[in-house]
Structure 1
Amino acid sequence: MTTIAASWLDWAEPRLFTDDRNIAVLLIGACIFALTLAVPAVKRGGRTLVTVVHEAGHAVVGIACGRRFQGFVVQRDMSGHAVTKGKPTGPGRILTTWAGYPAPALLGAFLVVGALNGWSKAIVIVTIVALIGLLVMSRSVRTVLVILGSALVFAALWQLGDRIQVGALAQAGVVAGIGLILLIGAWTSLQDVARTRDREQDHFTLAALTRMPSWMWILTWLLVDLAASAWAVRVAFDAVA
């Protein structure tokens, strides 16, 4: 029992860094994000990750609202679709539909803040557990491969934190980089959905479920993205100032 408690405390204990190390964490994170701009395969992986988090946002909020999460898929074009069962109208359906687009921004900001506050190891463990849950709910071969690949990346990241001398620093930097990919990816997704005329997109569905026009729902996502970005920037500035 003592061993289990010690192991729990070991991964949950924050690893706080000095200002110089926080700068290094941000630099590593920025380099990882830069890869998504320079390397097409990495860019595609980043966009797929944003899609996974988007669909997970629908699922988590749907479950919290009493709906049944039946599974999700990631398409070849990096779009996705999550299925929850419940009442076709009402607050639960509205919140579930709304939750997808702000999810990457909120999680991305949290990863950046967590990396700078020494919680990267705990974040990695929780992410692995969440990905295992998503793996069970994957409903296509492509989706299984995407989630399994993501889980393996985070498992390697977990080992990285313990196996090399600067592992904790590198781990925090990678977590921050993934956070940046999600945070900036949320803005890209918002820009794309604001331009689309596809009536099956979430803001049109929300407009049909409520009396609010579709542009007002886009505005709510914009405000969440702004708040998440401001939070991450403020914490990053405080960490290196």
Structure 2
Amino acid sequence: MNWDEVGARVVPTAGIALAPSAALTALGAALVVVGVAPVWQSLRVVVTLVHELGHAVVGLAVGRRFTGFVLRGDMSGHAVTVGPSRGAGRVVTTWAGYPAPAVLGAVMVWAAGRGWSAPMVTAGLVVLVVALLRVRSALTGVVMVLVLAANGALWWWRDDRLQATVLVALGVVLLVGAWRHLGAVAGSRERGSDPAVLAALTRVPRGLWTASFVLVCAAATAWAGRVLLDLVR
């Protein structure tokens, strides 16, 4: 493959690439994923994956080293970044997990609605390839290979309408998944949960950290909702 072929799979399209009927189809598919219990139990690991990569990406951005991550059979996960045990870098890295699915989901919906699906799929491919080198369990490896294969196929056989439809569906799944995961942690008293760790690091009550997650998720949902309304009109 030459650079011209790579470029053809990266450049955005002109205008909105998703018709209202395709947007409604994507929304319907997303509702099936999050609303049908057996489907959700199988696919919610994608939300966990984004949560853990949120820790990793923000950790790298603030100068920490990302050394590995695992996804578990109960759909929980854990990412390890190395750096100072306290301080702003540790705090923002720990904080980033729960908002990550909502923020990424909103960005996906926006990208689909604005003709930027191809760059979005390309960015996802790059992140997944790098993250694959940090897998630390067999289950994590299987999930990563499957997600990477799906993303790679979507990138290789570029179809603007299909890419946009998939991004809308996955974006909505991530948004709803972010709220479901947030609801679970809001009622948790586990000492190892992100709000509990943040409270221990800063002496700010865990309830306030949970409230900050809610605010970010609400903003991301509102943004995505406006884009979706434009798409289905």
Could you say whether these structures have the same fold, taking a TM-score greater than 0.5 normalized by the shorter chain as the test?
yes
Give the aligned residue type for 2:41: R
Structure 2 equivalent of residue 164 of structure 1: none
Shift of 1:15: 4.6
- Paired with 1:186 and 1:10, the residues of 2 have a C-alpha distance of 29
Structure 1 residue 198 corresponds to structure 2 residue 198: no
Query: Per-residue displacement from partner, 1:8-33 (whole Å, max 9, x unpaired)?
Result: 25521225337xx4312321211321
Judge conservation of contact 1:32–1:174 (CA < 8 Å) in 2. Answer: no
Q: Mind listing any 5+ residue stretches in structure 2 that lack a counterpart?
A: none
Distance 2:170 2:110 in 1: 12
Once the two structures are superposed, the pairs formed by residues 179-198 of structure 1 within 5 Å of their partners are: 179-198=171-190
Counterpart residue number, 1:105: 102
1:221 paired with 2:213, answer yes
Q: Does 1:137 find its partner at 2:129?
A: no
Q: 1:173 matched to which residue of 2?
A: 165
CA distance in structure 1 between the aligned counterparts of 2:156 and 2:60, rounded to whole angstroms: 31
Deviation at 1:7, TM superposition (A): 4.1
5+ residue gaps, structure 1: 162-166
The structure richer in helix per residue is 1
- Is 1:151 aligned to residue 116 of structure 2? no
Indicate which of 218, 225, 231 corresponds to 1:233. 225
* Cα offset, 1:175, TM superposition: 1.2
Shift of 1:129: 1.4
Seen in structure 2, the aligned counterparts of structure 1 residues 79 and 35 have a Cα distance that, compared at 3 Å, is: same
| Alpha-carbon distance between aligned partners in 2 of 1:15 and 1:45, rounded to the nearest angstrom | 36
What is the number of residues matched between the two proteins? 232
| Match in the other structure for 1:94 | 91
CA contact (8 A) 2:106 2:221 kept: yes
CA shift for structure 1 position 6: 6.6
Alignment partner of 2:19: what SS?
A: helix
1:66 pairs, out of 48, 63, 68, with 63
Per-residue CA distance 1:104-132 (angstroms, 9 max, x = gap)? 00000000111111111221122111111
> Which residue in the other structure is 2:78 paired with?
81
- Structure 1 runs (4+) greater than 6 angstroms displaced: none
2:58 is paired with a residue whose SS is: helix
RMSD: 1.8
2:52 and 2:77 in contact (8 A); partners too: yes
Residues 1:14 and 1:61: Cα distance change in structure 2 (over 3 Å): same
Give the AA of the match of 2:89.
G
State the shift of 1:34 in Å: 2.7
How many Å separate the matches in 2 of 1:58 and 1:39? 28
Residues in 2 aligned to 1:118 and 1:25: alpha-carbon distance in whole angstroms? 14
User: C-alpha separation between the residues in 1 aligned to 2:6 and 2:82?
Assistant: 38
Determine if contact 1:128/1:155 at 8 Å carries over to the other structure: yes
